[in-house]
Amino acid sequence: MKLKSQTTQKIAFTLLGLAAVTVIVPVILILVILIQRGWPAISWQFLTEMPRMGMRAGGIFPAIMGTLCLVACAISVALPLGVLTAIYLVEYAKKNWWTRMIEIAIVNLAGVPSVVYGLFGLGLFVIFFHFGSSILAGALTLAIMELPVIITSSKEALMSVPRSFREASLALGVSKWETIRCVVLPNALPGILTGSILGVSRTAGETAPILFTVAAFYLPRLPQSIFDQCMALPYHLYVLSTQVPNVKPALQYGTALVLVGMVFSLNLVAILVRAHIRSKKQW
């Protein structure tokens, strides 16, 4: 009997181990293949030059810049909006049907397919608001996509600040808003930042939302303002892979490697921030 239970345990452990390995295999394979085939393409020129010869040569500088622009603009809209919403929901909102509606809406927002966001952005920002196909329209579309992630992680970060801190501050006659500003927010900030960076890194690689709202097939110059179109890494990768004949594979893999590298470094920043704060956390 004892032997049998040990045997089943071994089988269970093996299965669990296999499941875990199965999960990391694709990640490792993607990285190995990308680095193996893309690395030869990476050079200073590749990162800093405009594309040449119908994008079959030269660099991907405008696409990198475009993606950075989009990410920066999207986060500068989504972060304040998301954090303020989270503060309202956690600190002020009463538990009634209206609050529940907002929360349900946020959960559903997270489940909307990205191509639907793209069409929504096209309808609202590009056409209705007359922004045209522009960085502004694309960034706003991405911002809406980021919102659920930012709100959810901010809410969790705010709720993880102990209630006793709030009471200690309120008991000194400090107003509720001052308490939130001086006690709750500083302690929730690391969680908010980490969650937001992860939200951003997810949207940085999205193609569908920018397809209709901002991304350009090819532009001979960099965007001059937020009302210009721009190139973006995910869309550029799509174009290189499917729309332009006779592109050297190294160029495609190199582009993919840069995109993955950017997303990965964003995640790395989030992980480092979190680790740093955890080591200093006092409660």
Partner 1 sequence: MDKIIVKDLNIDYGGVPALKGVNFSVKDKEILGVIGPANSGKTSFLRALNRLNDLDLACRMKGSILLNGKDINREMDAEEVRKKVTMVFALPIPLPMSIFDNVAYGPRRHGVKDKKKLEEIVEKSLKASFLWEEVKDRLSSSGMKLSGGQQQRLCIARTLAVEPEVILYDEPCSGLDPISTAKVEEAMRELKSRYTQILVTNNVKQAARVGDRVAFFLMGDLVEIDEAQKLFTTPRDKRTNDYLTGRFG
CB of 162 to partner 1, least distance (A): 8
Nearer to partner 1, 161 or 230 (CB): 161
Chain residues in the site for partner 1 (CB under 8 A) = 94-95, 164-165, 167-175, 178, 182-183, 187, 281-283
Nearer to partner 1, 167 or 272 (CB): 167
Distance CA 46, CA 167 (A): 56
CB of 177 to partner 1, least distance (A): 11
CB proximity list for 206: less than 8 A, separation 6 or greater: 114, 142, 145, 234
Write down the H helix ranges in the chain: 2-38, 44-48, 61-87, 97-111, 114-121, 135-159, 163-170, 176-179, 185-204, 208-211, 233-238, 249-280
Nearer to partner 1, 128 or 283 (CB): 283
Question: Apex CA 169: angle with CA 164 and CA 174, to 5°?
Answer: 150
How many C-beta neighbours within 10 Å does residue 66 have?
28
CB of 164 to partner 1, least distance (A): 5
CB of 253 to partner 1, least distance (A): 47
Nearer to partner 1, 56 or 166 (CB): 166
Nearer to partner 1, 2 or 281 (CB): 281
CB of 242 to partner 1, least distance (A): 53
Q: Are 141 and 210 a contacting pair, CB within 8 Å?
A: yes
Q: Comparing C-alpha atoms, which of 256, 206, 239 is closest to residue 56? A: 239
